[in-house]
Amino acid sequence: MEEQQQQRIFNIEKIYVKDLSLEISDAPLVFMEPEAPKIDMQMHIDDKNVKESMYEVVLTVTITAKTKDKTLFLIEVQQAGVFQIINIAEEEMLPILNIVCPNVIFPYMRETISDIVTRAGFPPVILSPVNFEALFNESKQKAMANGSDQPVNTTKQ
């Protein structure tokens, strides 16, 4: 019985789009732009304990496509997951919520963004893979340098 209580459990309960926003301010004129847009991406990770052993992790990505001084489109997507996490040591929780869970969510985020951009009439935007472990470690180092023990969950590419 004691062995069962110590079993470490990590289950993906649900992956879903929590929020989705698309702005094409100058449509249809933006479709006549001959220049390929410059894509800017910003990302943020949030997590919260929604009930005993259940955690929601939300990966928010904002994509801005610009040519010179004109914004062609702006997309913000919140792709989320609910994860069951049991018998994981406290010191392991932060890396799981900021590395493992975003690694599970990110492929869904890529598909959502590519699909919505294509449906909006633009060539697809395929996000490059993200090394969440490197981002987490970098954030942790910045937090330590600032005198905090909690990493900041924001990235920019």
- Whichever domain contains 130, its CATH number is 3.10.420.10
pTM equals 0.86
A 10 A CB-CB count for 65 gives 21
CA angle at 93 for the pair 89 and 94, rounded to the nearest 5° = 140
- Mean pLDDT over 71-89 rounds to 96
pLDDT bucket at 34, cuts 50 / 70 / 90: confident
Residues of the domain holding 86: 8-156
Query: What per-residue confidence (pLDDT) applies to 110?
Result: 96
- Give the model's pLDDT for residue 82: 98
Asked whether residue 150 is assigned to any structural domain, the reply reads yes
pLDDT of residue 3: 52
Task: Tell me: pLDDT of 152 over 60.
Answer: no
Average pLDDT over residues 67-80: 94
Q: Is residue 143 part of a domain?
A: yes
State the total domains in the chain: 1
Backbone angles phi, psi at 46, to 5 degrees: -125, 150
| pLDDT surpasses 60 at 140 | yes
Report CA-CA distances (Å) from 142 to 38, 82, 99, 137. Answer: 28, 28, 17, 9
Query: Which residue did the predictor score with more confidence, 152 or 10?
Result: 10
Select from 131, 153, 150 the least CA-distant residue to 58: 153
In the DSSP assignment, the letter for residue 25 is: T
Residue 56 lies in a domain: yes
Burial class from Cβ neighbours inside 10 Å (0-12, 13-18, 19+) for residue 8 reads: exposed
In a domain, 97, yes or no: yes
DSSP conformational letter for 16: E
Question: What is the number of residues in the chain?
Answer: 157
Which comes out higher in pLDDT, residue 25 or 13?
13
